[in-house]
Structure 1
C-alpha cells in the first residue's frame, strides 16, 4: 500500500464529512445559496494567496531542483489558474468584500505557513496535500452526481478537470517518494500534518456555509 493510501484511509472519516457537508451537497444539487458561494469565493481568494506562499516556501526546501520547479509551478497555478476562476466570479457576483479572513481561513492559512516554514520538507508536503487531493475528490464526486444545469458549473469543471488532476497526481507521487525514504518518526509527523490539514479543510467548508464571523 502506498503511503498516500494510508493517509487517505486514516483521514477518510473527515473526508466523508466534507463530501456530505451541506455546502457540497447543495452545490451538487444546484441549490447552494449564492450568498454562501460568494462568501466562499472571497475567502478562497484570500486562502489561495497564502497557499501559494506556503507552496513556494516548501519548494525552496526541497532536495532536488525538479521538486523545486514542481512546487513553484504549483504556486503559480494557485495564483494564475485558480485565481482567474475567482476573478470571473468576483465580476459575475459583484464581490467587493474587504472584511478579511474569517476564522476558518485564518486558522488554515496560518497552519500551512507555519508548517512550511518550521517543519521538515516532508511534513510540509503532507500538510499541503489535502488542498490538492480533497478538492479533486470533491470535484469528481460533484461532477458525477450533479444536477444539470448547475449554477456552479465552472467551479465544478475546474476541480474535476484533467489539468488539475495531473497536478494532484504529481503531488501524490512526491509525497510517496518522500515517505519511502523517511524515518518512521517523520512518517508519523507527515500523517499527523495530513490529518490536521484535512480537518482544516472541513472547517473551511463549514465556515463558508455558516458565513462565519469573528465573535469579538
Structure 2
C-alpha cells in the first residue's frame, strides 16, 4: 500500500467530520448564511498568501527538478490565480478588505511555516497535502450533491471540483508518495503525523467559519 493510501485511510474520521460540518452541508444546500461565507473567504485569502510562501520554500528544498517545478507552480497558483479568484468573490459577496487573521487561520498558517522551517522536506510536503486533497474531495462531494439549481456558492464548488485542480491534487499525491518511498520509516511516520495534523486544521478552519471564531478579550 502506498503511503498516501494508508494515510488517507487514517484520516477518514477527520474527513467525515469535515463533510458533515454544518458549513459544508449548508453550502451544499445553498442555505449557508452569506456572513459565514464572507468570513471564510477573508480568512482563506489570508491563508493563501502564507500557503504560497510555504510551497515555494518546499520547492527550494526538493532535490528532483520536476518536483521542484511542480511546487513552484502550486505556489504561483496559490498566490496569483486563486488571489484573482478571491478578488472576484470579494466583489460578488461585497467584501471590502481582508481584515485580520483570526485564530484558526493563524494557527494553521504558523503550523505550516514551522514545519517547513524545522522539519524535513518530506514532512513539509505531507503537511501541505491536505489543502490539496481535502479541498478536491470536498469540491466533488458538494458538486455531486448540490440541492439547489442556482446555488449561490456554485462558483466556489466548480473551482475545487474542476479537472485542472484535481490534476494538481493527483500530482501532489504522487510527489509525496515518491518522497515517502525513499524515506526512512521514521520519516514516513512523521509525514503521516503532519498530514493528520494539517487535516485537522482543515476541519478547524471550516468550523471556525461556521461559528465565526475571532480574537476576543477574555
Aligned to 1:24: 24
Aligned to 1:82: 82
8 Å CA contact 1:85–1:155 kept in 2: the answer is no
The one-character-per-residue Cα deviations of 1:68-123 (angstroms, maximum 9, x if unpaired) are 11111000011222212211111112212453111000000000111111110000
The one-character-per-residue Cα deviations of 1:140-176 (angstroms, maximum 9, x if unpaired) are 0000001222000100000000000110011000000
76-85 or 34-43, larger mean C-alpha shift? 76-85
Matches within 5 A, 1:91-106: 91-106=91-106
SS of 2:11 mapped into structure 1: helix
Q: With structure 1 as the length reference, what TM-score do the two structures score? A: 0.98
Q: With structure 2 as the length reference, what TM-score do the two structures score? A: 0.97
Aligned to 1:110: 110
Closer, same or farther: CA 98–143 of 1 in aligned 2, 3 Å: closer
SS of 1:100 mapped into structure 2: coil
Give unmatched runs, 5+ long, in structure 1: none
Q: Aligned equivalents of 2:118 and 2:50: distance in 1?
A: 16
Aligned to 2:213: 212
Aligned to 1:13: 13
8 Å CA contact 2:4–2:177 kept in 1: the answer is yes
Aligned to 1:193: 194
Matches within 5 A, 1:80-159: 80-147=80-147, 148-159=149-160
Give the aligned CA root-mean-square deviation in angstroms: 0.9
8 Å CA contact 1:136–1:160 kept in 2: the answer is yes
Moved over 4 A (4+): none
Q: Does 1:43 align with 2:43?
A: yes
